[in-house]
Each structure stands twice: as C-alpha cells, then as structure tokens.
Amino acid sequence: MAASPAYGEEKGGSSSLGEPEYGHDPASGGIFSSDYKRHDDLKEMLDSNKDSLKLEAMKRIVAMIARGKNASDLFPAVVKNVACKNIEVKKLVYVYLVRYAEEQQDLALLSISTFQRGLKDPNQLIRASALRVLSSIRVPIIVPIMMLAIKEAASDMSPYVRKTAAHAIPKLYSLDSDQKDQLIEVIEKLLADKTTLVAGSVVMAFEEVCPERIDLIHKNYRKLCNLLIDVEEWGQVVIINMLTRYARTQFLSPNQNESLLEESAEKAFYGSEEEDTKDAKAEAASLAKRKPYVMDPDHRLLLRNTKPLLQSRNAAVVMAVAQLYFHLAPKAEVGVIAKALVRLLRSHSEVQYVVLQNVATMSIKRRGMFEPYLKSFYIRSTDPTQIKILKLEVLTNLANETNISTILREFQTYIRSMDKDFVAATIQAIGRCATNIGKVRDTCLNGLVQLLSNRDELVVAESVVVIKKLLQMQPAQHSEIIKHMAKLTDNIQVPMARASILWLIGEYCEHVPKIAPDVLRKMAKSFTNEEDIVKLQVINLAAKLYLTNSKQSKLLTQYVLNLAKYDQNYDIRDRARFIRQLIVPTEKSGALNKYAKKLFLAQKPAPILESSFKDRDHFQLGSLSHLLNAKAVGYQELPDWPDEAPDPSVRNVEVPEWTKCTSREKRKEKVEKPFYSDSEGESGPTESADSEPESASEESGSSSSSGSSSSGSEEEEEEEEEEEGSGEQSEDKEEEEEKRTKRKEKEGSRKAVPGSADSPSEEEEEEEGVKKAKKKKASQGKKSHTETSSEEASASESSSSGSDSGSEAEAKQRKVPPSSKAGPKEISLLDLDDFTPPPPQPVPSSSIVSTSLVTDLEGLMLTDTSLAPALLSPAFGAVRTYELLHRMAGEGLSVEYCFSRRPFPGDPHMVAVQIQISNNTDAEVKSLRVSEPKPLSGMRIQEFPEIERLAPGDTASVVMGIDFCDSTQAANFQLCTHTRHFYVSIQPPVGELMAPIFMSENEFKKEQEHLAWPGEGKLMGMSEITEKLTLPEKCRSDHTIVQQVTSAANVGRVPCGADNEYRFAAKTVTSGSLVLITLERREGTAAQLTVNSEKMVIGTMLVKDIVQALVQ
C-alpha cells in the first residue's frame, strides 16, 4: 500500500488544507467572492520572497478550489511558483495546476520544463510526483512528452515511480486514444514487473486500455496469482476481477460433470428417491459421453491463492473473491464464501446494501450455501428500509419446506412493523413463499385474509393484490374469500387493490353469482370518480358479467360502456369500443362474437411470482452492472466457458534462475518469498511445470517444512493446539513431550511386531531417523526457541517421510537457513521484495509421528493376512472429537461427540456416536436426556438412556445411534437437563457414514469391475469418480497415506499386490452400498484417486474429503 502516501498527499490538498482555513478566517466569505482586492493580496503574497507567505497564500487558494470557488484568475501568479524550492509550496502549486491547466493551456506550458526537470530528479518521490502532475494536467499538446515520460518511468529503478507510470497510462489514453499501441507496449513491459507495488496499478491500466488483449496475461498469470496476497488491497480487487475473466476464457467449467450430480443431490433431499434414480439414469447417458474433467492446475492455483483473501478486512476484496468463487469454483467449493459474505453484513449499511444484492442473486442459484446463515438475515427494526427489503428478498429465496415455518413466524412479526413500505414488501414475500411452497399455501392465504381487516389501508391493499395472485391458483375452493373481498370495495381506496378485487370478481363471477352484479352496480355509480386502472377493471367486470349473466347486468353494462365512451382517457374509450363490439351481438359483428365467452373467460395461467434477482448472474457479480441490472459503460462481459480448453502451455514461463541455483534455499527465501504469503502459493508454478518433476518435488518438500503443521490432518492440529500452551513455555516441557511421544511410538511398534514378525519394520527405520534427528538437536545445545522449534519440525518431517534416507540430509541442510534468517535484518529502502519475513516457528508436531497402533499396523500390512475389522477401525486410535455444546453456551455443561466407528448395538443401520458430557458447574445436573429429535425424513435417532444425575466435575460417556440415511444432513435434537433445553445438531462427515468391510484383492477387483462396467440397464461411468492429485512430501510414505485415508473415512484396507496402489473398501451404513477406493501412485508426486460407489453423492464428497486429507 505504498500508494497511501500519495493518497494522503492528495487528500491533504483537498481537505486538511481546506478545513483549517474554514476555521481561522471568519470573513472567508470575502475571499471567495470576486473581491479583487483580496485576490491582489494573494498575488502579492505569492510574489513575496518568504516561503511562509507563499505557503499561506497557496493554502487559501487550494481551499477555494476545494469549495468550488473560481480561482482561475490567479493562474499566472501561481504558475510562477512551480519552480519554488519549498516542497510544501510546490505540492500545493501542483494541486492548483492539475485543477486549472486544462483551462489555461498556453500558460500551463510554461510549467512543463519544470516537470521535465523533475522527472530526472534523484529523489524518487519528486520523479513520481512530476510524472503524476504531468499526466494529470490534460493538455493535449504535451501528449508526446507524456508518452516519453511514461516510457522512461516504466524502466525506472524505483518501483514507486514505475507504479506512477502505470497510473499515468489510463490518463494519457483518455486524452489521446491514438496512443493505444504504444501504451500497450508499456503495459506489457510493466506486466512483467515482479514487484507487488506495480502489479495492481498495471492491471488497472490493462483493464482501462486493452482489456481485450487477454494474451498479454498468459505469461504473467502465475506470477500474478502468486503475488496476489502481497499486493495492496485495491490492487487485489482489480487483479481478481481481471483474473476471473481470464479464467473464463482459458479453463473448462469445473461443473460440467458435477452440475448434473449436484442437481440430483439436491433432489435427494427434497424429492422422492424414485424420481431421483430415474433422472440420474437419464443424465448418466450424457455424462458418460464426456471426458472426465480434470481441473487445470493453473485454475486450481487461482482458487487456492485467492481463498485466504476472504479473510481480508476490505469488503471489496472479500466481494471480489466471492464472485471469483461463484463464477469459477466447482460447486462443492463455492460454499466457503457464504461465511465471509455474511460477515460483511456487520459493516456499514452501504456495504450491506451491495452485499445483500449479490447474496440475493447467489441465493437463487445456490440456496444451500446460505441456508445455515438464515438467521443472519433476520430483520431488525433499526435496519434502514432498503436493507430490510433486501434481507426479505434473501429470506424468501432461502425458504424451503423445512424452514418455511420458522420464516413465516418471523414474517408475522414483520407485519406489525411501523415501517409500512416494509410491511408491504413482507406481504409480497409471503405471497411468493405461498406460491413456491404448496404446503403452506393455505396457511399463508388465511394469514393474508386476516390482514384484510388491518387498520392500515396500505397493508390491506397489498394483501388484496397478493391474495388475488394466490386465488388464481385454486379459485374454486375460495369463494368465501372472494365474497369477503367484494365487501371491501366499499372501504378500500387504493386503486391497485380495487382493481384487483374487481378483476377477481369478474374472473370468478360464477362462484359469487349474487354478489357480482351488485358490485357492478356500485361501481357503475362511482365510475366517473375512479382511477383509470379501476375503470378498466370495471369495464372488464361488466363484460364478463354480460357474458355469464346478461339478464341482470345487461343494462348496467350498457351504462358503464356509455360512460366509458366519453371518458377523458383514450385507453378507456378504446377499450369500451372494443368490448362493445365484441360482446354485444349486432348484425355487423363478425365471427369473433361467437367466441367472446372463450376469449374473456379462458383459463388464465396463474402468475408466477419470482425474484427480481433471478438470472441476474449473467452479469459478473460484484459489478456495478449487476447492481443496476443494466449494462454500465465500460462493462466487460463475463465470457462463457470454452468447450475446449485453449493450450495451457501458453502460461509456461522459463524456469526462473533461482531453481537451478545451488544455494536455492537461501535465495528463494530472499528473492521469491513475498512478504507474508504462504509458501503453499509458491509451489504453484512449479506444480505445473511438469518438465522438471524433481525441482517440483523439492519445492513442495521445502514448502511443507516451513508450514509443516498446516499440512497435518485436523486431528493433529487439535493435538498441537492443546500442546501449544505448555509447549511454548519451556523447552524442558517440550523435551518431555517428545519423550512421551517416543515412548508411545515404541509401544506402538512393539505391539505391531507380532502382527508382522518377518516383514522388515518400517518404523524401526523411521525411529532411527527420529533418534538421529534428536541427537542432532541435542548437540546444538542452547539455541533460541525459534530455532529449536523449526528444527524440531524438520525432525518430525524427516520421520514422517519414513525410510527416505535423503530426508535426513535435507534436515541437516535446513539447519543452516535459520541463522541467516534470524535476528534483525538490514532493511533496504524501497526494495519491497527483499524484505524477508521473520523465521517461521512451526509448532512441535510430534503427533505426526504416528500415535495410532492401527496405522502402524496398516503400514506393515502388505501381505494378504487380513485382520479383524475391529482391529482396523481406529476406535482406539486418535479419533476426532467435535463439540456439541460449548461450556459457555451450555452454562457449564460441555458436550463433545465423536464417531467411535464401532457398530451400533441393536441396529446395524445406525452410526454410533459417542457422546461425552462434562458437568463443569458446581451443581448437580439431573435427568440429562435427548428430547424432541427432529430428524429429516427417513432419518432415525436412537437416544441414549437418560442420565439421572451428573455430579459437579463429573463426566459421563454415552452412545447414541443415528441413521443418517447415507446423507450428510445434520441430525437435530434437543439436549435437556432438568432445567434447560439446548438445541444441538450432529453433522456427520461423509467418511463416517460407512463401515469397513473385508474382501480379497480378487473380490475387490470383481466388485470394482462390476461397478465400473455394469451389465445391462446400468450405465458405465456412473459410479466412478476419479481425481488426480499431487501428494505432498510428508504424505508419501505408505503408512501416512493409509493413515490419512482411514482417518478421513471409516474404511478397511484391502490387500494389494502392486506396491504403488492402495485399496480400501466399505459399505454405507444405511443402505449397505459398496464404496471402493483406489489410490494409485504415479511417477513423481502424482497420484490418482478413484472411488467407485453407486451412491454418487457420497462418492463425490468422499473424493473431496480424502483428497483434502492427503493434500493438506
């Protein structure tokens, strides 16, 4: 954000100078009138020798400009001072020049030579400001000079000046668009710039001058992705928006296969199963034809590197990332943006306004994404009306069968609001809910009818309009309501409502045969005083009655038509004439007359009430055009995904020198590491540079070392966190900790030996490595805490990579950098990239050293010896616990749960959930039980037996069973004590919805083949999901892979002959569908994960979870 000084300066010009002036000159009005004497004053001051006088004069003049007063007559006096030595005066003269040079071009030319001199000044700040002014004064005659200055500044050694050059480009372009070609050359040059300072500004120039030249981005794409996190906030927004467009032209849609899946998943929740399978089959045909989709690594790079920016404090950045994910991410990943967007709702109301508009659009396409945040859209009486109405829109979009009752209850309170516009909008919203969700239609209708007796006419009117729309759906059942509404014509005055009632009565006059003619009689009486829309409906009513009940209404109709014939409004006159011809049979009346009844009383389709935000997403979200729902000037269309991906190699860049350099580690730290970015990002470019797999693997290795704990699985992270408190305090404790882990580990291996007596124990080797690493550490003696911990990380690193002997050497090597990193650094001015972050301090990640016996066993289990299922499930290993009720929320009662992975006794279709309840209060808690489970359709909950009493400080452990129906929908229920109820919910990770089964290699192959190449009636490709992934270094040893997979899902290992393949099998708990997992290691770091399962939804989610477990 080095732009900030520049901004500060300019702001200083307009405000800080204007404001004080305001204060200390009470007669300031005088200055600003055309009091020439005062202006003479100023001229005198400007001519004086004293800088202080000049400064004072300039301050006043700039204040005049800021207040919109004309100060142009001072131009000659001011421009003389452009060469003034005093920098403060100079700055203010610049402010003046930028404002008036356009008006006095000839005089302005006098100042040009000063700027040209400024461009050569040794001080970069002066060079930059000279360029800034030169490019801002808008004097066409100096275009060649500007062009030259920009070209020169683009090669300036100071990144700040280069940034200013980028800023100058759009200014010159708007002055003279003929310069485009030359400017593109400069843009191309600046796009290649490696500093974060320039990136945002040059992309901005690109967007303004040549957004169509997408080819200029190719070579810089990866760099931009990687620099992104370190670019200043405003630059980030511009870059992200541009990259969104870029990605849409270069990559394939990540949802081309999934879109079908996703839809069927949705249906599974709301629709019937049968329908689902039918659809699925139909879709499968088209699905099978397509090639399996593999995401371009560059596409992934963009998604990965923008995601952290969802945590930005800048709402514009968050919105930019959100729209990027919305337009580019696979559907399964879009969900992450919801939380960030909901966060923005806490911001200023203008921000809320924009965010809600975007949420409204998104919530139509991806309702599920915002459902968990339903309550964040509840309306407060203090919200501004425009915010209320937008929130209402979102709430309505989110309404479905499950939450509609809550939403309607909420709407009920809104109806009593004092804000009548809001009440009207609420009634509309109720109408929309009623049309969309059949189940509540009658409830809504009844509620609206009650509103007809509301005292506020606006409320009544709005209700009438909405009721009219609802009644159109099933009029026969509602003649009572129509009668009721007919009575309202006596009182209600709002034209729209009167018109609606009349239309209803006319349309359904057969349901109210007695009342309708009477209403017509009354309306005929008041006809002349009605509004135009009412008059038209009176004519309409008359016509319909004439056709159905001409006996009673013939005269009335004639009368009304006669009145209308002489109405002032031509529409009404026309209508009357037209209708008379149509309905009243005469000799001349044509063939149409016979069909009059059919014409007027045809069945009319019920109106569809839909959101005004529907389909607004064809505009890029977050854009001005989206907000206005109209194309704004300069809007760049978001292109559709291409059918065939363009050549991805265009983004390849020659490998930068540093990768070949021997002191690679060090240089990388220095040159390439941006200020506070993650190392993960850097592995990006090499990841896809397939030509050099070795450097890629090294790269990812080093990256995992600097952020080793980040790559651990969640369990590990949890453990680490617990250890953190003590671990950080003293080294001694850490040492102890390690000893403990080591002991544990030994135990583990000891136990493991019997199971595989003759197979060469991997652990032993592994432990060897650990020992060595530790010895090394010990020999280092007293070192700073920082180093120890990083050292330790590398120690555990080497252990995790198992028998890989090279890792030890690497660990040794890695010892060197910390010393060069630690300590205060010499900070050279301006070279932003030379700044290295302080040494990272990874947390001791001793837990990476396997603690689970099971996984150790699995690491060894390469032969066909199959083990009992109980042994394989990590029931007694590290099981992840989840919080059900936090201590604070539970008022001292804290509840945690975990999936024990044991079969639930009594019902094999239930997942066993072990619940641990601790009483942290100082009173006894009595009769703890589950009550009012509210399972979704099909879901069943077997409650745990009531706990009669739980003494203070005690902990109880119980098991309950839940049949999740093979879906990851949460099970909701209440946890009750003798005094309180707590609403809680358990949401199972997909991996817990299955239980391991055992089969031989042959069985596995057979089943897999059966799934992949099903017989008749089934379609191939339906039950197989494949994903390519890159294994990080720490995840390459056999047992870590097995550990990660089994921790992500409750599956059993299937023996396998090939040593580069891992197989696992399980059956879903409810339906017993087979789930087969194959992980195949390819050469280098590549691997391919295949999941076969009839349950496509589970399969897709499982792939995601396992990939995450392996890659993280």
Partner 1 sequence: MIHSLFLINASGDIFLEKHWKSVVSRSVCDYFFEAQERASEAENVPPVIPTPHHYLLSVYRHKIFFVAVIQSEVPPLFVIEFLHRVVDTFQDYFGSTNVGDQLPTGQLSVVPWRRTGVKYTNNEAYFDVIEEIDAIIDKSGSTITAEIQGVIDACVKLTGMPDLTLSFMNPRLLDDVSFHPCVRFKRWESERILSFIPPDGNFRLLSYHVSAQNLVAIPVYVKHNISFRDNSSLGRFEITVGPKQTMGKTVEGVMVTSQMPKGVLNMTLTPSQGTHIFDPVTKLLSWDVGKINPQKLPSLKGSVSLQAGTSKPDENPTINLQFKIQQLAISGLKVNRLDMYGEKYKPFKGIKYMTKAGKFQVRT
In the complex, the smallest distance separating the C-beta of residue 763 from partner 1, rounded to whole angstroms, is: 26
User: Does residue number 1010 form part of the binding site for partner 1 (CB under 8 A)?
Assistant: no
User: Does residue number 683 form part of the binding site for partner 1 (CB under 8 A)?
Assistant: no
User: Does residue number 418 form part of the binding site for partner 1 (CB under 8 A)?
Assistant: yes
Residues 619-658 that bind partner 1 (CB under 8 A): 622-625, 627-628, 630, 632-636
* Exposure string over 973-1000, b if 16+ CB within 10 A, otherwise e: bebbbeeeebebebebbbbbbbbbbbbe
Q: Which is nearer to partner 1, 91 or 1053 (CB)?
A: 91
Kindly tell me which residue out of 11, 565, 750, 949 binds partner 1, with binding defined by CB under 8 A: 11
* Site residue total, partner 1 (CB under 8 A): 133
Residues 131-170 that bind partner 1 (CB under 8 A): 138, 160
User: Does residue number 107 form part of the binding site for partner 1 (CB under 8 A)?
Assistant: no
Query: Do residues 964 and 1070 touch, judged by C-beta distance below 8 A?
Result: yes
In this chain, which stretch among 63-71, 143-151, 565-573, 873-881 interacts with partner 1, using CB under 8 A?
63-71
Query: Do residues 69 and 108 touch, judged by C-beta distance below 8 A?
Result: no
Query: Do residues 141 and 135 touch, judged by C-beta distance below 8 A?
Result: no
Burial group, residue 786, by CB count within 10 angstroms (0-12, 13-18, 19+): middle
Burial group, residue 63, by CB count within 10 angstroms (0-12, 13-18, 19+): buried
Q: Which is nearer to partner 1, 865 or 985 (CB)?
A: 985
Q: Which is nearer to partner 1, 715 or 763 (CB)?
A: 715
In the complex, the smallest distance separating the C-beta of residue 984 from partner 1, rounded to whole angstroms, is: 8
User: Does residue number 380 form part of the binding site for partner 1 (CB under 8 A)?
Assistant: yes
x/- letters, 978..997, toward partner 1 (CB under 8 A): ----xx-x------------
Q: CA–CA distance from 983 to each of 415, 592, 956, 975 (Å)?
A: 28, 65, 19, 6
Phi, psi dihedrals of residue 685, rounded to the nearest 5°: -60, -40
**1044 closest CA partner among 1097, 945, 1111:** 1111
Dist. CA 61–CA 54, nearest whole Å: 10
Question: Which residue stretches of 689-784 are H helix?
Answer: 693-706, 714-729, 731-755, 762-779
In the complex, the smallest distance separating the C-beta of residue 648 from partner 1, rounded to whole angstroms, is: 27
In the complex, the smallest distance separating the C-beta of residue 838 from partner 1, rounded to whole angstroms, is: 5
**505 closest CA partner among 489, 494, 526, 528:** 489
In the complex, the smallest distance separating the C-beta of residue 299 from partner 1, rounded to whole angstroms, is: 21
Output the CA torsion 606→609→615→621 (10° steps).
180
Backbone φ/ψ region at 284: left (φ over 0), alpha (ψ -120 to 50), beta: alpha
Q: Which is nearer to partner 1, 243 or 355 (CB)?
A: 355
Kindly tell me which residue out of 335, 384, 495, 933 binds partner 1, with binding defined by CB under 8 A: 384
Kindly tell me which residue out of 249, 277, 417, 759 binds partner 1, with binding defined by CB under 8 A: 417
In the complex, the smallest distance separating the C-beta of residue 487 from partner 1, rounded to whole angstroms, is: 19
**769 closest CA partner among 730, 797, 735, 736:** 797
Residues 513-542 that bind partner 1 (CB under 8 A): none
Query: Do residues 982 and 889 touch, judged by C-beta distance below 8 A?
Result: yes
In this chain, which stretch among 263-271, 325-333, 670-678, 812-820 interacts with partner 1, using CB under 8 A?
670-678
Q: Which is nearer to partner 1, 849 or 984 (CB)?
A: 984
Residues 814-843 that bind partner 1 (CB under 8 A): 824, 827-832, 834-835, 837-838, 840-843
Q: Which contacts (CB < 8 Å, 24+ apart) does range 824-829 have?
A: none
Q: Which is nearer to partner 1, 312 or 756 (CB)?
A: 312
Residues 202-241 that bind partner 1 (CB under 8 A): 204, 229, 232-234, 237, 241
In this chain, which stretch among 251-259, 706-714, 1033-1041, 1074-1082 interacts with partner 1, using CB under 8 A?
706-714
Q: Which is nearer to partner 1, 711 or 1092 (CB)?
A: 711
Phi, psi dihedrals of residue 17, rounded to the nearest 5°: -85, -35
In this chain, which stretch among 249-257, 378-386, 495-503, 957-965 interacts with partner 1, using CB under 8 A?
378-386
User: Does residue number 728 form part of the binding site for partner 1 (CB under 8 A)?
Assistant: yes
Kindly tell me which residue out of 24, 37, 85, 346 binds partner 1, with binding defined by CB under 8 A: 346
In the complex, the smallest distance separating the C-beta of residue 983 from partner 1, rounded to whole angstroms, is: 8
Going 215 to 220 to 222 to 224, the CA torsion angle's sign is negative
Query: Do residues 986 and 1069 touch, judged by C-beta distance below 8 A?
Result: no
Greatest CA separation for the chain: 118
Residues 35-54 that bind partner 1 (CB under 8 A): none
Q: Tell me the CB-side half-sphere exposure of residue 835, using CA atoms within 13 A.
A: 14
In this chain, which stretch among 123-131, 517-525, 582-590, 951-959 interacts with partner 1, using CB under 8 A?
123-131
Residues 770-789 that bind partner 1 (CB under 8 A): 786
User: Does residue number 998 form part of the binding site for partner 1 (CB under 8 A)?
Assistant: no
User: Does residue number 33 form part of the binding site for partner 1 (CB under 8 A)?
Assistant: no
Q: Name the CA radius of gyration of the chain, rounded.
A: 37
Q: Which is nearer to partner 1, 208 or 401 (CB)?
A: 208
Q: Which is nearer to partner 1, 636 or 1088 (CB)?
A: 636
Q: Which is nearer to partner 1, 205 or 560 (CB)?
A: 205
Dist. CA 381–CA 170, nearest whole Å: 46
In the complex, the smallest distance separating the C-beta of residue 373 from partner 1, rounded to whole angstroms, is: 8
In this chain, which stretch among 361-369, 537-545, 662-670, 879-887 interacts with partner 1, using CB under 8 A?
879-887
Token pair recorded at residue 808: 């030890």
Query: Do residues 120 and 127 touch, judged by C-beta distance below 8 A?
Result: yes
Kindly tell me which residue out of 64, 66, 199, 911 binds partner 1, with binding defined by CB under 8 A: 66
Question: Which residue stretches of 1030-1095 are H helix?
Answer: 1038-1048
Report the 10 Å Cβ neighbour count for 565.
12
User: Does residue number 104 form part of the binding site for partner 1 (CB under 8 A)?
Assistant: no
Cα three-residue angle 1057-1061-1063, rounded to 5 degrees: 85
Dist. CA 1112–CA 1047, nearest whole Å: 13
Residues 454-473 that bind partner 1 (CB under 8 A): 454-456
Query: Do residues 425 and 388 touch, judged by C-beta distance below 8 A?
Result: yes
User: Does residue number 976 form part of the binding site for partner 1 (CB under 8 A)?
Assistant: no
User: Does residue number 447 form part of the binding site for partner 1 (CB under 8 A)?
Assistant: no
Kindly tell me which residue out of 269, 293, 378, 658 binds partner 1, with binding defined by CB under 8 A: 378
In this chain, which stretch among 181-189, 316-324, 599-607, 946-954 interacts with partner 1, using CB under 8 A?
316-324
In the complex, the smallest distance separating the C-beta of residue 779 from partner 1, rounded to whole angstroms, is: 25
In the complex, the smallest distance separating the C-beta of residue 660 from partner 1, rounded to whole angstroms, is: 26
In the complex, the smallest distance separating the C-beta of residue 1045 from partner 1, rounded to whole angstroms, is: 22
User: Does residue number 416 form part of the binding site for partner 1 (CB under 8 A)?
Assistant: yes
In this chain, which stretch among 182-190, 448-456, 873-881, 914-922 interacts with partner 1, using CB under 8 A?
448-456
Dist. CA 822–CA 5, nearest whole Å: 30
Residues 267-306 that bind partner 1 (CB under 8 A): none
Dist. CA 579–CA 559, nearest whole Å: 13
**For residue 241, what are the contacts with CB-CB under 8 A and spacing of at least 6?**
207, 320, 323, 324, 620, 622, 623
In the complex, the smallest distance separating the C-beta of residue 158 from partner 1, rounded to whole angstroms, is: 9
User: Does residue number 886 form part of the binding site for partner 1 (CB under 8 A)?
Assistant: yes
Q: CA–CA distance from 288 to each of 898, 1008, 1019 (Å)?
A: 38, 17, 8
Residue reference for tokens 């559709």: 640
Dist. CA 868–CA 1075, nearest whole Å: 19
